[in-house]
Chain A
């Protein structure tokens, strides 16, 4: 593999891992549920996004032909992440209301 591509893959791996960690730090130390909800969207968009792109570049460079199926994971996560965030927020609001009723 040529050195330019290798350093590109290395940078994207580090970037992805760093943002996955930052998202989890947010999840661990932010004060209430709704602020914590911002952690996973971060981990998904840049964290997994950069990791998956690194994988696509790596396998395209080392095998014959281009490797794009990693992109499918990214597309799937980008479609599902807002849906789970929305449902979690609704569940939290619902529970808050229940507690207020009691």
Chain B
């Protein structure tokens, strides 16, 4: 039962990430692309946590935390660049 749930979870999150990629390529504006990247990041975190359960290892948790931190900083930096034309003033 747990195996079934994990496999289905992989498929659902995989589909979600494909939809994010589609939005990333389609745009139409830069802000849409940044939003798509941000969502891709969040889905990647969910995928990593799920993979950690499948492999029965808590090592993937650190990777998930790192992706969360890096994704946030990337989104903020990109938005800042759009707002000010500069990241570190």
Chain A interface (Cβ < 8 Å from any Cβ of B): 1, 6-7, 9-11, 13-14, 16-18, 20-21, 23-25, 27-28, 33, 36-37, 39-40, 43-44, 47-48, 51-52, 54-55, 58-59, 62, 67, 69-70, 72-73, 76-77, 80-81, 83-84, 87-88, 90-92, 94-95
**In the assembly, what is the distance between CA of A16 and CA of B46, in Å?**
8
Name the residue of chain A whose CB is nearest to the CB of B32. Answer: A33
Q: Taking A40-B42, A48-B45, A54-B53 as contacts, is the C-beta distance between A88 and B35 under 8 angstroms?
A: yes
- The answer to whether B1 and A73 touch across the interface, beta carbons within 8 angstroms, is no
Q: Taking A9-B5, A17-B12, A28-B22 as contacts, is the C-beta distance between A91 and B31 under 8 angstroms?
A: yes
A interface footprint on B32-45 (CB within 8 Å = 1, 0 otherwise): 10111011001101
Number of interface residues of B (CB under 8 A): 48
**In the assembly, what is the distance between CA of A39 and CA of B17, in Å?**
13
A interface footprint on B54-74 (CB within 8 Å = 1, 0 otherwise): 001010010011001100100
Q: Taking A51-B46, A88-B75, A92-B31 as contacts, is the C-beta distance between A10 and B80 under 8 angstroms?
A: no
Q: List 28 A-B contacts (CB under 8 A).
A: A1-B2, A6-B2, A13-B53, A20-B13, A20-B42, A24-B43, A25-B16, A27-B35, A28-B19, A28-B22, A40-B38, A40-B39, A43-B16, A47-B43, A48-B42, A48-B45, A51-B46, A73-B49, A73-B64, A73-B68, A77-B42, A77-B45, A77-B68, A87-B76, A88-B34, A90-B79, A90-B83, A95-B31
Interface flag for B15 (CB, 8 Å): yes
